Chain A
C-alpha cells in the first residue's frame, strides 16, 4: 500500500508536448481512474508511474520518495496491460512466476536447466510455486495453470495477467484499459471482479480507461483528462451532477447531457429558446451561454416550479425498463429524455408541439469558455442549484 503523488510532470515526444505540468495525488488505498479520449495522455501518465518511460521534468513520489529515476522493477508497481502482454511461450504458471523468478533467483540460478541444480535454487523454486498456487486460487485459475495463453479465453488471460500483477504484492496496481479486449458481457463481469479485488486487497489502484461508464462504476475518484491536462478530478457523483466544464459534462453520462445555446439578457436572466429562465448570471453583459441538463431531468407536460420549453417528440428507443426519446426544441436543437417505459409518450406522425419540463435543480449553465457558471435564483423561495449541492 502506498500513496502516490505526481508533481508538475512534463513529457514530450519529439515536438509534441503530451503532458504539461500535470499534478495528481492518489491516496493510499484509493481506486482512481484516469478517463479521457485516446491521445489525451492518460496512458503516458500510467507508463511514467510504472517507470516504462522517462519524465522530462517533475517528480513522482511513492509514499513521499521520489522514484522518477528508479528502474521499473524497483518501484514495487505492477501493471495489467490492455493486450495482457502475457508471454505466449510460457504456461500460465510460469507467466505468473516470472516476476518472482526475476527477483528471488540470482543470475546463475535463472539459467535454463543448470540453474535448477545450483545450491539454494530448489527451495526458492518451491517458495515461488507456493506463491503462484496461492495467487492462482484467489483468481480461480488452479485448473488452468499448465495451459499456454493461446489456449485460454480472453477472460482467463485477463485473470492470468491479474495474477502476475498480484503475485509479488505490489504497492500500487496500474491498469491500462484492461477490459477493452473483452466482449460486453464479460467486460461487466471482470469490472466487478476488479472492484472486488480492490476491496479485498485495499491496495492503491490507478486505472486508465476511455469508457466513462466503466470509470464511474468502479472508481473512488475519476480524473477527466484532455490534451495532457486534468480537467476535473472528483468523485463520480460530483462529475455527473456538477461538472466544472462543458467538456467534462459532455464526456460523462450516457445518453449524453443535453446542451442548448442560451444567452444572458440585459437583466442578467438566462434566455434559451426565447424562454426566460428564472436564473441570474453574475456579471450583467449579454453573453453567449450554453444550457445543460441531463436526459433524466426532462419530463413531459408542465410541472410547477420547473423550467418549461416547447418541444416536439421525434423518435423513441425502447430499452426495456426505460425509453430514450429524441426531441426537437423550438430553437432547432435536438435533446434527449430518459423516461421509465410506462411513462414515455408514443411518437405521433407529424408530432405536435408540447410543453416539457426541466427540473430546475438540475440545470447547468456554461459560459462562452465552456466553464460552469454559478447561478443565483431570481425567484424568491426557489432553491438555487449551487446551494443545494
Chain B
C-alpha cells in the first residue's frame, strides 16, 4: 500500500454536491426565512422594510395564532398517545395470530401508505351531514346527526379522529417490527420464572423491551402530528371561525392566501423552534432512560 498524498481538494470536490444541495435547499432557505421574519415583505412586492421584532410582537397579540397554537398542541396531545396506544394494542393482537398477520398489517397500514389528501376527500363524503355514512350509522344508535366539519364543537375533534386513524397504522407496523425483535428465549425464561399470564408478560417483558421502539414511535408521531395540514386544508380550511386552525395551515394561509410573507416567515421560525425542542427532548430522554 502506498501512502496517499494529502489532497484536501479531492475531499472538498467529492463532498461539494452534498454541501451545495444542503445550502441551497436547507440552510439558505432557512436563513432567508429567518431574515424575512424581521421584515414586512409582501409576497410579490418589490421592496421591503426592516421592522425588527414587530412580527413576533404581533403574533403574541394575534388571537388566531393563539388559537392555532392551542389547537395544534391539543391535536398532538390527543393524536400521539391515542395512535401510539392503539398501534401497540393492534400490534400485540395482530402478532398473536400469525395466520391473518399480512392481511391486518396491510389493512391498518393503508391510510399511512396512501395520500392523505385523497383519504380526506373520502372522509368528506363519509362525514357529509345528510348523505354521509357516519351520520347514517350513528342514527342507528339514535345519535342526532350533525355537520361534523361545520360544527365549531366537533370540527377539531373530527380532524383529530382522522389524525388518529391515519397515524395508528404507522405505529402498529413499527411496533410489530419491535415485537419481532424480542428474543423468544426471554418469554421462555419468563415462563419458568413465573411470568406466564398474558398481563404479566406484556407488562414485565413486552413493554420494557419495546422501550427504544416506543420512543422512536413517539418522536415520529409527535413531529408528524405537528405537521398536520392536509386534512385541515381539504376538510375545514381552519374553520368554522378558526376553531380547527392549526399552525402549519395558518402559515400557509398567511403566506399564500394573504401574501403576508414576513409574518408567515415569523410563524415559520416559531414553528421550527418548537420542532427543534421536540428533537432535543427526544435526544435527552434517549440518553437518560432507554439505553440498557
Interface hit among B37-45, B93-101, B194-202, B275-283:
B194-202
A87 part of interface (Cβ distance < 8 Å): yes
> How far, in angstroms, from A27 to B198 measured CA to CA in the complex?
35
CB distance from A325 to the nearest CB of B (A): 40
Our pick among B188, B200, B291 for the contact of A52 (Cβ within 8 Å) is B188
Binds B, one of A71-79, A205-213, A255-263, A373-381: A71-79
Q: Are B292 and A88 in contact (CB under 8 A)?
A: yes
Which of chain A's residues 131-164 have a Cβ closer than 8 Å to chain B?
A: 148-150, 164
Q: What does the 1/0 interface line of A83-105 toward B look like (CB < 8 Å)?
A: 10111111000000011001100
Contact with A along B187-230 (1 / 0, CB 8 A): 01101111110001000110011010000000000000000000
Chain A residues whose C-beta falls within 8 Å of the C-beta of B189 in the assembled complex: 79, 81, 85-87
Assess whether B194 is in contact with A52, with CB atoms less than 8 Å apart. Answer: no
Is there a chain B Cβ closer than 8 Å to A51's Cβ?
Answer: yes
Flag whether B185 is at the interface (Cβ < 8 A).
yes
On whether the beta carbons of B192 and A148 are closer than 8 Å, the reply is no
* B residues near A86, Cβ cutoff 8 Å: 189
Which residues from chain B contact A79 at a C-beta distance below 8 Å?
Answer: 188-189, 192
- Given A89-B209, A150-B292: A102 touches B188 (CB 8 Å cut-off): no
Nearest B-chain residue to A78, judged by Cβ:
B192
B186 within 8 A of A: yes
Alpha-carbon distance between A50 and B208 when the two chains are bound, in angstroms: 25
Bound Cα distance from A171 to B192, whole angstroms: 13
Question: Within the complex, which residue of B183, B192, B204, B292 is in contact with A72, where a contact is CB–CB below 8 Å?
Answer: B192
**Is the beta-carbon distance between B188 and A47 smaller than 8 angstroms?**
yes
- Say yes or no: B193 contacts A99, CB within 8 Å: yes
Let me know if A83 and B193 touch, CB within 8 A. no
Q: Quick one: which of A81, A148, A164 contacts B188, CB cutoff 8 A?
A: A81
A106 to chain B minimum Cβ distance, whole angstroms, is: 12
Give every chain A residue within 8 A of B193 (Cβ-Cβ): 73, 98-99, 102, 164
Q: Which residues of B contact A110 (CB under 8 A)?
A: 200
**What's the minimum C-beta distance from A128 to chain B, rounded to whole angstroms?**
13
Of the residues A72, A73, A85, contact of B185 by C-beta under 8 Å: A85
> Which residue among A47, A82, A83, A103 has the maximum number of chain B CB atoms within 10 Å of its CB?
A83
From B185, which residue of chain A is reached at the shortest CB distance? A85
How far, in angstroms, from A150 to B291 measured CA to CA in the complex? 9
Interface residues of B (CB under 8 A from A): 183, 185-186, 188-189, 191-196, 200, 204-205, 208-209, 211, 291-292
Residues of chain A having any CB pair with chain B under 8 Å: 47, 50-52, 71-73, 77-79, 81-83, 85-90, 98-99, 102-103, 110, 148-150, 164
- 11 pairs from A and B in contact (CB 8 Å cutoff): A50-B192, A72-B196, A79-B189, A79-B192, A81-B185, A81-B189, A83-B183, A85-B188, A87-B186, A88-B292, A99-B192
- 18 other contacts beyond A89-B209, A149-B292, with CB at 8 A cut-off? A52-B188, A52-B191, A72-B196, A73-B192, A79-B192, A81-B185, A81-B188, A82-B185, A83-B183, A85-B183, A85-B185, A87-B205, A87-B208, A98-B193, A99-B194, A102-B194, A102-B195, A164-B193
